[in-house]
Amino acid sequence: MRHIIIVLLFISCVFAAGARVDLKYDYLHAGIAPRIQALGETGMISAEGPESIYYNPALLVFDTDKTLLVGMTNLGYDQQQFFAYYRLPIAYRNALFSIGLVSHQISGIEVRNASNAFPQNMTASDMMLVMGISRFLGPRTSFGMSLQWMLDDYTTDHQVGVNFLFGLSHYYSDKVRANIIFRYLGEGQMVAGSGVRLSIGDQLILYSTADLFLSDGLNQVILHNGLAWSVTSGFELLVGCDGANLSFGATQCFDGFAIQLSYTDTPIGSRYSVGIELL
């Protein structure tokens, strides 16, 4: 099993040399969970809670004390995103199940048919329902898969998208974890990704991922990197880099819940996100 994973990781890295992250459902890359945003959108390897079903469902079996995450992201340009994820164990081969809902809307879009036409304003919205399942394949390896339904109210045929995601996660040691994912976006578009989590000392964790767009390659590589610093046992400072976007954030655990905050600086402005996680 270990060798299979190594081979898959190698293939994924080779592909990553000439690809970039996809633009389809682009908004989903900008605000699914505050902690992930702060870590430079490295969710494929850094997700810890029920939101793992979007990034890498194989991670669902870890950190099982985190059951619910709700929050919102202000993406700027009159757009907001609301999200909620819930995780629960199911009585079949120790599997874990999670479900999530992401709602996104953007207002203030000027509708014009001609340069001399008087504009009307419209609002466009999208929604994603995601559910997934995960279980351990062995003492160090987990597997998960999820299914996402996306729909919008603005494309010509009110596009309904179906998105499949498969993930594998493997612990090499207490210090090193490696993941791979494969996502099918529909219409022949696919994304593969790989990621590594390295613990540096007792307080620092480095997350690095690469996304690979397998169809309509755009000849641009986007790497994601994040660094988490456990300042105390309940307080974590986060910093990340997602292409040209720089992000910062923090998580603070309290008795029974945690708060996640993030701020991201992008070439088109800033966005911020806040979330509450039940422990």
Partner 1 sequence: MLRVLILVGIGLTLSLAEYVPGQVIVKYKDTPSVVIASSRGSISSMNNRHPNTPFIIHRESSIIEQKQSLLTIQGSRTRRHPFEGLQRIEFDPSTNIDEALNWIRSQPDVEYAFPNVVMRALDTVPNDEYYMSNQRTNDTAMFFENAWDISTGSASIIVAVIDTGVDYTHPDLMGKVIKGHDYVNNDEDPLDDNGHGTHVAGIVAAIGNNSIGVSGVNWNCQILAEKVLDSLGGGNSVSASLAIIDAVDAGAAIINLSLGGTYTSGYDIAIDYAYDHNVVVVAAMGNYGPNGENRYTTGLGTDVSILKSSPACNDSGLNKVIGVANLNYNKKKSDSSNYSNLFCDISAVGTNIYSTTLGHSYVFLSGTSMASPMIAGVASLILSISPNLSVSEVKTLLFGGAHNIDSFNSVLPNGSLGSGIVDAYRSLFSMTQVSTTNSGMSQIVKFFNYKNPVELTQGATSFHIETTTVPESCSIKIFSLSGKLIKTFVFIPSSWIVSLGDDNISWTLRDESGNYVPTGVYIAILDVRDSLGHVSRKSHKVLVK
The least distance separating partner 1 from the CB of residue 99, rounded to whole angstroms, comes to: 24
Q: Which is nearer to partner 1, 4 or 23 (CB)?
A: 23
Q: Which three-class secondary structure state does DSSP give residue 233? A: coil
Q: Which three-class secondary structure state does DSSP give residue 254? A: coil
Amino acid making up residue 158? H
- Note whether 164 and 188 are within 8 A (CB): no
Q: Which is nearer to partner 1, 17 or 114 (CB)?
A: 114
The least distance separating partner 1 from the CB of residue 32, rounded to whole angstroms, comes to: 11
Q: Which is nearer to partner 1, 89 or 108 (CB)?
A: 108
- Note whether 38 and 47 are within 8 A (CB): no
Q: Which three-class secondary structure state does DSSP give residue 42? A: coil
The least distance separating partner 1 from the CB of residue 72, rounded to whole angstroms, comes to: 16
Give the residue among 208, 170, 207, 167 at the shortest CA–CA distance from 191.
Answer: 167
- Note whether 12 and 211 are within 8 A (CB): no
The least distance separating partner 1 from the CB of residue 241, rounded to whole angstroms, comes to: 12
Q: Which is nearer to partner 1, 27 or 164 (CB)?
A: 27
Where does this chain bind partner 1 (CB under 8 A)? 21-27, 29-30, 75, 77-79, 106, 108-120, 122, 124, 152, 154-156, 159, 216, 218-219, 222, 243-245, 266-268
